[in-house]
A and B are shown apart, each in its own frame.
Chain A
């Protein structure tokens, strides 16, 4: 049984560019959440998708947007990249209120 998979694993982008990160949830899970983890910090909640809609959002600007597809996979888009967007981006999937399972993350570096 495949767990949560994320792609790509590493990414380098230039300031001002746009980036798309992808996530496939664990089999049987219908909910996807995205987190940003800066170096030496705990993950920060960006948003959660359920039934193809954003169900809850954390304290992140509109430059961060997402999408969930009918097969429950999800994308995180970040526009107008800033140096401060450099972080590990983690995707988590769950079913209902069950515990969340995380992927290995995408390491984004903005130069």
Chain B
């Protein structure tokens, strides 16, 4: 069965600090997709990134970067020079192979960036 673990329930950082959100996943499939979503207080889940299991290249998008390591089943998310607008709940999610369409989410990490 697929499972996503986000061990950090809440994190507080001071503005301009770097912060890493951890995500560990479990799956028996060799083909799968990993995602990160941001949920601001408004409730809408905002898509940030999708990676497939065959692409372990790390990715950088502005202040955001993602580190995918199959050897440790981890897909961590780093925000560089955090800003108050980054305050939100962040979810890591997994979608297994060709036969499944559902997203399995972790419990989320609430990030508070203090000015």
Contacts and interface: CB of A to CB of B under 8 A. Distances in A.
Interface of A: 31, 33, 35, 40-45, 48, 55-56, 58, 88, 90, 92, 97, 99-105, 107
Interface stretch (B14-22, B59-67, B78-86, B95-103): B95-103
B103 A45 contact: yes
B96 to A, nearest CB: 11
B43 A33 contact: no
B103 A43 contact: yes
A47 B107 CA distance: 19
Contacts of B93: 42
B44 A104 contact: yes
B68 interface: no
A43 B103 CA distance: 9
17 contacts: A33-B102, A33-B103, A40-B107, A42-B108, A43-B45, A44-B105, A45-B102, A48-B101, A55-B101, A88-B43, A90-B43, A92-B45, A99-B47, A100-B103, A102-B46, A102-B47, A107-B43
Classify the secondary structure of A's interface with B.
strand
Given A99-B35, A99-B50, A56 B102 contact: yes
Contacts of B43: 88, 90, 104-105, 107
Interface in B99-115: 100-108
Given A31-B101, A56-B101, 17 more contacts: A33-B103, A42-B105, A42-B106, A42-B107, A43-B45, A43-B91, A48-B102, A55-B101, A56-B100, A56-B102, A90-B43, A92-B45, A92-B103, A97-B33, A97-B101, A102-B45, A104-B42
